[in-house]
């Protein structure tokens, strides 16, 4: 197993002639939970799309699990949870997860386990279109988890979730990383969630302005509050080498 699941070098992405990502370089360690944090429009989703291999890039290199991003063999190893649910509204939760399980040659038992992991057991036979927004997101997550991927790329997975479930999901993410060696790249605009990550990538205007552990970022910026740390990094972006 390699020590890094993702390596990005000199990545540049333009859209409509406008720069979205500017010379991004980063490494994501294998079996870690890495938080991609920044305000809306900072380039988080575009960067995740580059990792998954569905974003056209202008220049640079993106390597995932030892192969170029988007390589066909990665489709069964990298699961991508977008902000827009990809489940079928006219099917039940169970039918959706079983469908994705079959695509990945997994069993009905695997599908049931994935549903339980996201606390949707009571809604298993409920049509997806009747779910709440938070339940909808969890159904989408179950469809990603059933494949048992080596890497999970999660775009704002806890939006709309109640505090208890958010905590349970983060605990589950860490279990996946620590016990199963799954690499998790998760985006958020909420700083208190960033504190739960092994490492934080702070983004602003298409650039990584900090790449370190929550503890190191607090220490270097001289504040225990990550929101304050982010503001100080904006004011002095070279504070962390």
Q: What is the DSSP string of 87-126?
A: S-TTSBHHHHHHHHHHHTT--HHHHHHHHHHTT-GGGTTS
Whether 139 contacts 96, CB under 8 Å: yes
Give the span between the Cα atoms of 58 and 12, in whole angstroms. Answer: 5
Arithmetic mean of pLDDT, 37-63: 94
- Kindly state the percentage of the chain with pLDDT values over 90: 66
Whether 208 contacts 22, CB under 8 Å: no
Give the span between the Cα atoms of 166 and 187, in whole angstroms. Answer: 14
- Average pLDDT over all residues of the chain: 90
71 shares its domain with 104: no
Rg (CA), the chain: 18
70 shares its domain with 165: yes
83-123: per-residue pLDDT in tens? 777 899 999 999 999 999 999 999 999 999 999 988 899 99
Whether 224 contacts 214, CB under 8 Å: no
Note down the domain range covering 119: 85-148
Whether 65 contacts 78, CB under 8 Å: yes
Q: Is 49 a member of any domain?
A: yes
pTM equals 0.87
202 shares its domain with 180: yes
214 shares its domain with 192: yes
Arithmetic mean of pLDDT, 211-235: 90
Long-range pairs, 214-221, Cβ under 8 A, ≥24: 216/240
Number of domains in the chain: 2
pLDDT band at 1 (very low <50, low <70, confident <90, very high): very low
pLDDT of res. 167: 84
Whether 217 contacts 202, CB under 8 Å: yes
153 shares its domain with 234: yes
Q: Is 20 a member of any domain?
A: no
Domain boundary among 148, 177, 193: 148
125-173: per-residue pLDDT in tens? 999 999 987 788 889 989 999 999 999 999 988 877 788 878 888 888 8
Is the pLDDT at 76 greater than 60? The verdict is: yes
143 shares its domain with 158: no
Is the pLDDT at 237 greater than 60? The verdict is: no
- Kindly state the percentage of the chain with pLDDT values over 70: 97
Q: Is 7 a member of any domain?
A: no
* 190 against 207, higher pLDDT: 207
């Amino acid at each position: 197993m390699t020590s890094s699941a993702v390596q990005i070098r000199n990545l540049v992405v333009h859209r409509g002639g406008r720069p979205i990502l500017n010379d991004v370089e980063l490494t994501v360690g294998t079996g870690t939970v890495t938080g991609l944090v920044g305000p809306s429009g900072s380039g988080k989703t575009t960067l995740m799309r580059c990792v998954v291999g569905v974003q056209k890039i202008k220049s640079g290199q993106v390597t995932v699990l030892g192969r170029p991003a988007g390589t066909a063999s990665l489709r069964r190893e990298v699961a991508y949870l977008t902000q827009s649910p990809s489940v079928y509204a006219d099917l039940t939760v169970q039918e959706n997860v079983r469908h994705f399980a079959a695509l990945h040659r997994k069993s009905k038992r695997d599908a049931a386990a994935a549903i339980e992991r996201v606390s949707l057991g009571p809604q298993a036979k409920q049509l997806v279109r009747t779910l709440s927004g938070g339940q909808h997101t969890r159904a989408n997550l179950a469809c990603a988890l059933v494949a048992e991927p080596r890497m999970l790329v999660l775009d704002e997975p806890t939006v709309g979730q109640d505090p208890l479930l958010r905590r349970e999901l983060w605990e589950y993410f860490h279990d996946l990383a620590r016990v199963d060696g799954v690499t998790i790249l998760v985006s958020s605009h909420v700083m208190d969630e960033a504190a739960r990550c092994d490492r934080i990538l702070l983004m602003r205007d298409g650039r990584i302005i900090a790449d370190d552990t929550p503890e190191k970022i607090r220490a270097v910026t001289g504040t225990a509050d990550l929101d304050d740390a982010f503001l100080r990094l904006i004011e002095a972006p070279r504070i962390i080498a």
